[in-house]
């Protein structure tokens, strides 16, 4: 089967695109037009009742939640984007994959959509933003200390690296005009990891498909996608 990725440019679907490119499995994409709130349409909600991007249609049915899709792909295509079950690196892979999915990614959502989580009061939004900036710095310091180099688990990239690099990208450019607090250079191992991921063919394919620019992880710019909108 050719996988079907429901995506929007520079959204969490970018992580899944990178994984599919690394695997080398045929896939097609369907744009979820955020400008039209297509992720809230009845047809999309049948695929993901949470109305979030991405969804990957597979022989097992549609899968949502980025971490779940990555884990499923790693099991469907053993040895491509994750250490094999039983390998020494398998437990660290699972640990950091779920840490990224359950800890860093939710922190970014609260940082980027403060009004949704803090309500309409500007003071409440500012307090949450400051709290999440501190939390992200704490999380990245943990990852910096844990990174084996050049990738998170060592010599070979995994789905965890793809997940992490996309979130490092977003921290550098979103929310627009509010990123002065973040400095990727303060984390040398993570900077090197982002550069190593940038050099891979999977990243080059994603750059072209989503208009990500020449340095999408180490010095990102706002996307110029061929179709759709990132926001």
pLDDT digits (tens, 9 = 90+) for 79-136: 999 999 999 999 999 999 999 999 999 999 999 999 999 999 999 999 999 999 999 9
Tokens of 115: 């009004």
DSSP H or E segment with residue 173: helix 159-173
| 227 located within any domain | no
Does 183 map to a domain? Answer: yes
Largest CA distance in the chain: 51
Residue 120 lies in a domain: yes
Cα 196 to Cα 155: distance, rounded to the nearest angstrom: 10
* pTM score of the predicted model: 0.97
Instruction: Specify burial of residue 217 (Cβ count, 10 A radius: 0-12, 13-18, 19+).
Output: buried
**pLDDT of 22 higher than 80:** yes
The pLDDT confidence band at residue 6, using thresholds 50, 70 and 90, is very high
Strands 27-31 and 3-7, sheet pairing? parallel
Banded model confidence at residue 48, pLDDT cuts 50, 70, 90: very high
Q: Is residue 66 part of a domain?
A: no
In a domain, 159, yes or no: yes
Higher pLDDT, 135 or 1: 135
Backbone conformation region of residue 51, classed left if phi is above 0, alpha if psi is from -120 to 50, else beta:
left
**Statement: residue 230 has pLDDT above 90:** no
Q: How far apart are the first and last CA of the chain?
A: 30
In a domain, 79, yes or no: no
Helix 66-76 to helix 13-23 angle (10° resolution) is 10
Do 63 and 130 form a contact (C-beta atoms < 8 A)? no
pLDDT tens for 161-197 read 999 999 999 999 999 999 999 999 999 999 999 999 9
CATH number at residue 100: 1.20.1050.10
Q: CA–CA separation, 86 vs 158, rounded Å?
A: 16
31: phi then psi, degrees, rounded to nearest 5 = -70, 130
At 6, phi and psi to the nearest 5?
A: -85, 120
Q: What pLDDT shows up at residue 190?
A: 98
Question: For residue 221, is pLDDT > 90?
Answer: yes
Give the CA count within 13 Å in the CB-facing half-sphere of 9.
Answer: 19
pLDDT value of position 195 = 98
Whether residue 84 lies inside any domain: the answer is no
* pLDDT, mean of residues 190-214: 98
How confident is the model at residue 122, as a pLDDT?
A: 97
Burial of residue 198 (number of CB atoms within 10 Å: 0-12, 13-18, 19+):
buried
What pLDDT score was predicted for residue 20?
98
Count of domains for the chain: 1
The whole-number pLDDT of residue 1 equals: 75
Mean residue pLDDT across the chain = 97
Give the Cα separation of 165 and 148 in Å (integer). 15
Question: Are the C-beta atoms of residues 161 and 199 closer than 8 Å to each other?
Answer: no
In a domain, 229, yes or no: no
- Residue 191: give the domain boundaries: 90-202
pLDDT at 231 over 90: no
Q: Tell me the helix, strand and coil percentages in the chain, rounded to 5.
A: 55, 10, 40
């Amino acid at each position: 089967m050719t996988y079907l990725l429901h995506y929007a440019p520079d959204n969490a679907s970018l992580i899944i695109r990178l994984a599919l490119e690394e695997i080398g499995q045929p896939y097609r994409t369907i744009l979820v037009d955020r400008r039209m709130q297509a992720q809230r349409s009845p047809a999309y909600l049948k695929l993901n009742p949470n109305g979030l991007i991405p969804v990957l249609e597979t022989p097992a049915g549609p899968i949502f939640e980025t971490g779940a899709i990555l884990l499923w792909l790693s099991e469907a295509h053993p040895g491509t984007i994750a250490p094999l079950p039983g390998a020494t690196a398998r437990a660290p892979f699972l640990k950091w994959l779920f840490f990224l999915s359950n800890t860093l990614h939710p922190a970014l959502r609260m940082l980027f959509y403060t009004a949704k989580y803090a309500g309409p009061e500007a003071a409440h939004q500012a307090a949450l933003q400051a709290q999440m900036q501190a939390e992200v710095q704490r999380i990245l310091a943990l990852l910096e200390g844990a990174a084996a180099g050049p990738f998170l688990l060592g010599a070979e990239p995994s789905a965890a690296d793809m997940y992490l690099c996309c979130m490092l990208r977003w921290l550098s450019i979103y929310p627009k005009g509010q990123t002065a607090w973040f400095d990727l250079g303060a984390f040398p191992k993570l900077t090197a990891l982002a550069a190593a991921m940038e050099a891979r063919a999977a990243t080059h394919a994603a750059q072209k498909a989503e208009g990500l620019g020449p340095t999408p992880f180490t010095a990102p710019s706002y996307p110029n996608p061929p179709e759709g909108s990132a926001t």
